[in-house]
Structure 1
Amino acid sequence: MSATHTIRLVLADDHAVVLEGLSMVLSRFDDFEIVGTANGGADAVALVADTEPDVLLIDLSMPEVDGVEAIRRILADRPRVRVLALTAFLEHQLVTAAIEAGALGYLLKSASGEEIAAAVRIVAAGGSTLTPAALPMLAGPGDQVGDDLTPRERDVLSRLAAGLSNKHIATELGLRPGTVRIHVSNILAKLHVENRTAAAVLARDHGLVADDLSGR
């Protein structure tokens, strides 16, 4: 994506004040164009169908059609749309569900305008991004190494330990590469390691992956 490319945005939130604030903040950036705002999940689905934006910023907690369901519906029809989920507070199950649905990242609504803008640009380019505050909150203390990994994270970890790239992991598990990148970030945080190699060693040392898979 070139530096002069304008990123077309749709914003979705059921709180009018939040929606207005996001619009004001993001309108200040020359490389953004807000093509529409929606006050709920169903409206977001319809609006994205009409406007076909580059990026959708969507609240996860909304009545009736929530953000997760809206993401599923939108990406089922328009997989090229990049989704950045927003949340007022971190709830592991909800955020994980959004990632599984296809969101490339999420931020707290308390993030600064510059942080939101940077995240939008990353997602628009096909990358993934996590709010820094998520890492310690998602990595619960746990009494044993890896006991707070979700089943999907264990699936990703087993393939990571086998030496597969994110692209190959995505193919095997039927996920988006961006989704795999987020799972890997969560795994590193929960295992308290800095890189994939350390995660693989730790996983094998603590029996978190099956020998037949890790050794293939």
Structure 2
Amino acid sequence: MDLYVGKNRKVVSICETQPLTVKGLIHLLESAEDLAFGSSHGSPAEWMLSPGADKTDVLIIDKGLGAKTVLDALSQLPAEHGVARSTVPAVVVWGMSITEAEALKFLQAGAKGIVRKSADTGTVLACLRAVAQGRSWMQDSVFREAAAVETQIRTDLTPREHQVMELVEQGFKNREIAQELGIRPGTVKIHLKHIFEKTGVRGRHGLALNGLRQKGVISLLAS
């Protein structure tokens, strides 16, 4: 579809395979005074080759295209646009089903927004507006564990537990954490057990996501 750039409006382009979904998004964007529809494509690779790619402020990528496709696009965006423009588009990943593990990978790879396709129009617009303004955003229904933990998550942790938690947030695996800290993998497991008990988080993905939230890297919106 042709690129449309509205005056003083952030341009949103879409990588989506379902025509009806694209039409719905276009209608939603047309109803917003601060957002404008840019273009729609069947894949991120197709979008990268389009004439209007360098005018895109926000790029929506359907997780249904495959997690690998999303991650590949996130890794390629800086290389594709680093010379042509000072900033790359803010990427919003959306899909019918996104696990905490997948969402964490997307965020660590550079995605700025995570939202479900089942979200209401207000939630979708809130996400697009937030990332268009340079903020990161995630829908809390995707991250039940991360949303449930309060800000005292770090207060009772020992210095070593803080170190382990920091490395978990960076995506380190147990064996890598052990090598980094000079301890045994079994000791890492013990530290994680204590961290989970103190924070109330059951899994490392929720732990990492909550750590990113508390650092202000991402924000939650109830849905």
TM-score (norm: length of structure 2): 0.60
Regions of 4+ moved over 6 Å: none
Percent identity between the two aligned chains = 19
Give the RMSD, CA atoms, in angstroms: 2.7
Match for residue 26 of structure 1 among 29, 32, 49: 29
The residue aligned with 2:181 is: none
Q: Which runs of 5+ in 2 are unaligned?
A: 1-6, 82-86, 167-223
1:204 is displaced (CA, Å) by 2.5
Say if 1:74 and 1:210 are closer, same or farther in 2 by CA, change over 3 A: closer
Is 1:48–1:74's contact at 8 Å kept on the other side of the alignment?
A: no
- Determine the C-alpha separation between the residues in 2 that align with 1:124 and 1:25: 15
Counting matched residue pairs gives 154
The residue aligned with 2:137 is: 129
The residue aligned with 1:35 is: 38
1:10 is displaced (CA, Å) by 0.6
Say if 1:75 and 1:45 are closer, same or farther in 2 by CA, change over 3 A: same
Indicate whether 1:117 and 2:122 are aligned.
no
Is 2:43–2:65's contact at 8 Å kept on the other side of the alignment?
A: yes
The residue aligned with 1:204 is: 158
The residue aligned with 2:75 is: 72
One-letter amino acid matched to 2:156: L
Q: Which runs of 5+ in 1 are unaligned?
A: 140-185
Residue aligned with 2:8, SS: coil
Say if 1:22 and 1:116 are closer, same or farther in 2 by CA, change over 3 A: same
Indicate whether 1:88 and 2:44 are aligned.
no
Say if 1:65 and 1:38 are closer, same or farther in 2 by CA, change over 3 A: farther
1:41 is displaced (CA, Å) by 2.5
Matches within 5 A, 1:146-157: none
1:16 is displaced (CA, Å) by 1.9
Structure showing greater radius of gyration is: 2
**CA deviation digits over 1:121-149, x for unaligned, max 9?**
1101111111120121xx2xxxxxxxxxx
- Determine the C-alpha separation between the residues in 2 that align with 1:64 and 1:193: 27
Residue aligned with 2:33, SS: coil
Match for residue 62 of structure 2 among 59, 64, 69: 59
One-letter amino acid matched to 1:209: H
The residue aligned with 1:17 is: 20
The residue aligned with 2:189 is: none
Is 1:106–1:131's contact at 8 Å kept on the other side of the alignment?
A: yes
